C-alpha cells in the first residue's frame, strides 16, 4: 500500500471519529451517536459531525432553525431528538435526506403551525410533538398511508381531536393527547385506529363521552381519562374492549358508575377511581358491589370515598352497608 492510500485511509478514519464542538460522541465500528446539549450552540453542528451518525440528540440549545441540507450530513440517521431548542418552524422538506429516520422527537419547542407534508416520510414510525404551541393538528402533515405507530401531541393547545389526521394513521398503536384543551371527542374521531393499544386523554376538559367512541378500538389495553371533567359515563362505554388492562378515571366529577360499565373485565384488569365526588345513595349500588367483588383490581381503593351525603362524607365506598346506601328501603317498597 503506497503512501497516498495510507493518507487517504487516515483522513477517512479521522473524519469518521471527529466530533462537533459543544457535543459529545460515542462510536461503534459502524455507527456514531452524538449528543449536543449546550445553550451556546446556535447553529446546526455540521462541522465535525460523523457521517455515520445514526442517533443525534440536540437538547437545551438555541438552535432556532434546521434544514434538510443540515440533515443531509447524516444520511444514516434513524433517531433524531431536538429537545427544547427554540425551534419555531420546520421546512416541509426537512426529512428528505434521511431515508432511514424512524424516530423524531421535537419536545419542548415553540412550534405552532407546520407545513404540509412535513412528516410524509415512509420510514417514520414514532413522532413526538410534546409541549409545543399547536392549536391544530393538520392532516396534510402526513401522506395517505403513514407508517406512524406512536404519536405524542401532549402539552399543546388542541381543542378537538383531529379525525381527518387520524384517518391517515391507521397503524397507530400509541396516541397521546393529554394536557391539551379537548372539550369533546366525536364518535368518528378514533374510528380508523383498529390497532390502537394505548390512548391518553388525561388532563383535558372532557365532560362526557359518547357510548360508541371506543367501539372500533378493540385492541385497546390502556385508557387514561384522569383529570378531566367527566360527570357521567355510558354503561356501554367499554363494551367489546376485551384487552383493556388499565383504566384511569381519577380526578373527574363522577358521582356514580352506571350498571354494566365494568362487567366482563379480564383478571389482569386494574382501575383507578379516586378523586371523584361519589354520591353514596342507591345509585352507588352497582359500583359498591363491584368494588366488594374486585378489591384487588382497584389501585388506591382507600381513596374511593363518599362526597355526599354529609353523614357518609369521607367514608370508603367499599366499607358501606346496604342500609347506609338506602337499598333496604328501596327493596321494601
Q: Where are the domains positioned within the chain?
A: 1-133
Q: What number is the average pLDDT over the span 75-91? A: 95
Q: Strand, helix or coil at 4? A: helix
pTM of the model: 0.91
Q: Strand, helix or coil at 139? A: helix
Phi and psi based region of residue 22 (left: phi greater than 0; alpha: psi -120 to 50; beta: remaining): left
| Grid cell at residue 204 | 383535558
Task: Report the greatest alpha carbon distance in the chain.
Answer: 105
Class in CATH terms, 1-133: alpha beta
Query: Distances from the Cα of 275 to the Cαs of 208, 209, 235, 315, 325, in angstroms?
Result: 17, 19, 20, 13, 20
Give 311-332 pLDDT, tens digit per residue.
999 999 999 999 999 987 555 4
Give 112-166 pLDDT, tens digit per residue.
999 999 999 989 999 999 999 999 999 999 988 799 999 999 999 999 999 999 9
What is the rounded CA–CA span in Å between residue 273 and residue 157?
27
Are 263 and 286 a contacting pair, CB within 8 Å? no
- Phi, psi at residue 31, to the nearest 5°? -150, 175
With CA atoms as reference, report the closest residue to 226 among 162, 278, 273, 279. Answer: 273
Give 16-52 pLDDT, tens digit per residue.
578 999 999 999 999 999 999 988 999 999 999 999 9
Give 53-74 pLDDT, tens digit per residue.
999 999 999 998 999 999 999 9
Q: What number is the average pLDDT over the span 187-195? A: 94
With CA atoms as reference, report the closest residue to 217 among 173, 151, 259. Answer: 173
Amino acid at each position: 500500500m503506497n503512501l497516498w492510500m495510507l493518507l487517504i485511509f487516515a483522513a477517512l478514519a479521522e473524519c469518521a471519529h471527529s466530533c462537533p464542538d459543544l457535543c459529545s460522541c460515542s462510536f461503534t465500528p459502524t455507527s456514531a451517536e452524538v449528543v449536543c446539549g449546550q445553550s451556546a450552540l446556535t447553529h446546526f453542528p455540521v462541522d465535525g459531525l460523523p457521517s455515520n451518525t445514526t442517533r443525534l440528540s440536540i437538547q437545551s440549545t438555541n438552535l432556532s432553525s434546521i434544514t434538510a441540507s443540515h440533515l443531509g450530513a447524516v444520511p444514516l440517521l434513524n433517531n433524531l431528538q431536538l429537545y427544547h431548542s427554540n425551534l419555531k418552524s420546520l421546512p416541509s422538506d426537512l426529512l428528505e435526506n434521511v431515508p432511514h429516520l424512524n424516530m423524531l422527537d421535537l419536545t419542548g419547542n415553540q412550534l405552532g403551525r407546520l407545513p404540509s407534508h412535513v412528516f410524509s416520510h415512509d420510514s417514520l414510525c414514532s413522532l413526538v410533538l410534546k409541549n409545543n404551541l399547536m392549536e391544530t393538528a393538520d392532516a396534510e402533515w402526513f401522506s395517505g398511508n403513514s407508517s406512524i405507530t406512536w404519536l405524542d401531541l401532549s402539552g399543546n393547545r388542541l381543542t378537538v381531536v383531529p379525525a381527518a389526521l387520524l384517518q391517515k394513521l391507521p397503524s397507530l398503536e400509541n396516541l397521546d393527547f393529554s394536557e391539551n384543551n379537548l372539550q369533546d371527542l366525536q364518535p368518528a374521531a378514533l374510528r380508523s385506529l383498529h390497532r390502537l393499544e394505548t390512548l391518553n386523554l388525561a388532563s383535558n376538559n372532557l365532560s362526557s363521552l359518547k357510548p360508541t367512541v371506543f367501539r372500533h378500538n378493540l385492541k385497546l389495553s390502556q385508557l387514561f381519562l384522569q383529570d378531566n371533567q367527566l360527570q357521567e359515563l355510558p354503561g356501554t362505554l367499554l363494551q367489546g374492549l376485551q384487552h383493556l388492562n388499565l383504566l384511569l378515571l381519577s380526578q373527574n366529577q363522577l358521582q356514580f358508575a352506571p350498571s354494566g360499565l365494568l362487567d366482563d373485565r379480564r383478571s389482569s384488569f386494574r382501575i383507578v377511581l379516586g378523586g371523584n365526588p361519589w354520591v353514596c345513595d342507591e345509585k352507588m349500588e352497582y359500583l359498591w358491589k363491584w368494588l366488594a367483588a374486585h378489591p384487588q383490581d382497584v389501585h388506591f381503593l382507600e381513596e374511593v370515598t363518599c362526597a355526599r351525603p354529609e353523614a357518609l362524607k369521607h367514608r370508603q365506598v367499599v366499607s358501606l352497608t346496604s342500609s347506609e346506601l338506602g337499598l333496604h328501603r328501596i327493596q321494601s317498597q
